[in-house]
Amino acid sequence: MIVLGISCYYHDASAALIRDGEVIAAAQEERFDRDRYSPVFPIQAINYCLSQAGITIYEVDEIAFYEKMYLKFERTVLSHIAGWPYTLANFLSTMPLWLKDRLAVSFTVEEELRFKKPVKYVKHHMSHAASCFFPSPFDQAAILTVDGVGEYACAAWGSAGATRSASTRSCTTPTPWGCSTPSSRPTLVSGSSRARARSWPWPSTASPASTSISGAWWS
């Protein structure tokens, strides 16, 4: 299976191409348009990945987007409502971006790439986990991601297995360790080619603020 991963419309737009669980190519758009942290749709990075793999877009089985955009939009709107009217200025400055670019990812993919299948939206922390697990040398790994905030989650933990799927739980914001710095996104992968991940002492039950996001990478 060939999967093309895309991130854009926030910062560091990029693309990655994975064939049967192996990373074939990955690149940030800033390397091509020379705009530091470039947020635009990464068409040049995508073309680079395809050329490195020696394939066309028509040979790609799935396109995965790095977060569940509609969930993030929901959280953003609710945050604006909760802080109203103090959020008015931010609301007016960000909503055009949401309507013009972020909520139109599927349309942009079809328009720019002529890719007809539905885009798969991956949970933000799953994307961070995948970005460490797929390039790692491990068949199984324990995973911890801590970020400012994804859709709602600010931390996730769990394991990824030989089938290259992941099972994680996550904590929703706010938590003592979440939302500290919007740009902080350390991800830790620890594992081995044996069953070390299974022996990791994960909590048997999650805290009331946590939710399960187990399953395939884009479930």
Contacting positions for Fe ion (CB under 5 A): 147, 185
Backbone φ/ψ region at 179: left (φ over 0), alpha (ψ -120 to 50), beta: left
Nearer to Fe ion, 72 or 169 (CB): 72
Backbone φ/ψ region at 20: left (φ over 0), alpha (ψ -120 to 50), beta: left
Nearer to Fe ion, 120 or 185 (CB): 185
Closest distance between Fe ion and the C-beta of residue 146, in Å?
10
Residue 175: both structure tokens together = 């938590």
Closest distance between Fe ion and the C-beta of residue 157, in Å?
15
User: On the CB side of 49, how many CA atoms lie within 13 Å of its CA?
Assistant: 27
Nearer to Fe ion, 80 or 124 (CB): 124
Closest distance between Fe ion and the C-beta of residue 160, in Å?
17
- CA 89, chain centre distance (Å): 28
Closest distance between Fe ion and the C-beta of residue 84, in Å?
26
Nearer to Fe ion, 102 or 140 (CB): 102
Say how far apart CA 177 and CA 159 lie, in whole Å: 20
Closest distance between Fe ion and the C-beta of residue 11, in Å?
10
SS3 for 218?
A: coil
Nearer to Fe ion, 115 or 218 (CB): 218
Contact 21, 8 (CB under 8 A): no
